[in-house]
Amino acid sequence: MMSTSVSRTDTASTVRTPALSQDVAFELLSCRRRRYVLHYLKQTDGVATLRELVSHVAAWENGISTAEVTYEQRTRVYTALRQSHLPKLDDGGVVSFDADRGIVALTDAASELEVYLDVVPHDDIPWSKYYVGLGVLCTGFIAGMWAGLLPFSLIPPLIGTSLVTALFTLSAVAHVYHDNRMRLGMSGEPPNGTGGEGA
C-alpha cells in the first residue's frame, strides 16, 4: 500500500461538526466512488492526496492495477472527484478537502459513518432477514418438540436445545467474519455493495 507523506494533523479539521443524520449518511454512501474514497482514506490513516485517490478509485472501478489506469480513466475520475464527490463529502463534514493543495483527510465526524458502512453484496441477503428466518425455523422446531409432533418428539430436549444454540452461535461467528470482510477500510480492494453509480 502506497504511503502518503502528508500528516493528518496538518489537514484534518479539529472543529466538531454536528452529528450526521441518517439521511445525510446514506446520501454520502449512496455513490460507489464516494465509498471508494472513504475506503482508501480509512486504509491510509485518514489522509491522502487527490492524485492517490484518483489512481486507486479509477483502478478499482475498472478492475485493474493503478499502473494500468489510462489517461482517460484517470481524467474521468479526477473530474468527478474534484467537482462533485469530494465537495459533497466535505459539505457533509466527513472529509476535509483542500482543493488548492490537493489533500483529502477524514474528519472526526467520519467515525459516525461506521454504523452505516456495512456493505451487502448483490447476491446476499441482509443479516436481519437471515436472523428472522433462523428465528422462525428454530421457533417451529422447538414448538414441534413441545407439542410432541413427529419427528421432533424423537429428539431429546437437551439435544434439541443444543442444536438451536449451536445454530445461533455458528451464525454469529459467520456474521462477524462476513462483516470484517465486507467493511470499507479493510485491506485490499473495496467490497462491491448494492446501489450507487460511479459517476
Instruction: Determine the pLDDT at residue 194.
Output: 46
What CA–CA distances, in Å, run from 148 to 31, 52, 138, 142, 164? 53, 65, 15, 10, 17
Percent over 70 (pLDDT), the chain: 73
Domain boundaries, the chain: 8-119, 127-180
Whether the predicted pLDDT of 11 surpasses 70: no
Tens digit of pLDDT for each residue in 23-33? 888 888 888 99
Select the more confidently predicted residue: 77 or 171: 77
CATH number of 8-119: 1.10.10
Tens digit of pLDDT for each residue in 53-68? 999 999 999 999 999 9
Q: Please report which confidence band the pLDDT of residue 186 belongs to, taking 50, 70 and 90 as the band edges.
A: low
**Range 118-156 burial, b when 16+ CB lie within 10 A, else e:** ebeeeeeeebeeeeeeeeeebeebbebbeeeeeebeeee
Average pLDDT over residues 76-96: 95
Select the more confidently predicted residue: 48 or 20: 48
Task: Tell me how far apart the alpha carbons of residues 56 and 36 are, in angstroms, rounded to a whole number.
Answer: 8
Task: Tell me how far apart the alpha carbons of residues 97 and 39 are, in angstroms, rounded to a whole number.
Answer: 16
- Segment (H or E) for 47: strand 47-49
Whether the predicted pLDDT of 20 surpasses 80: no
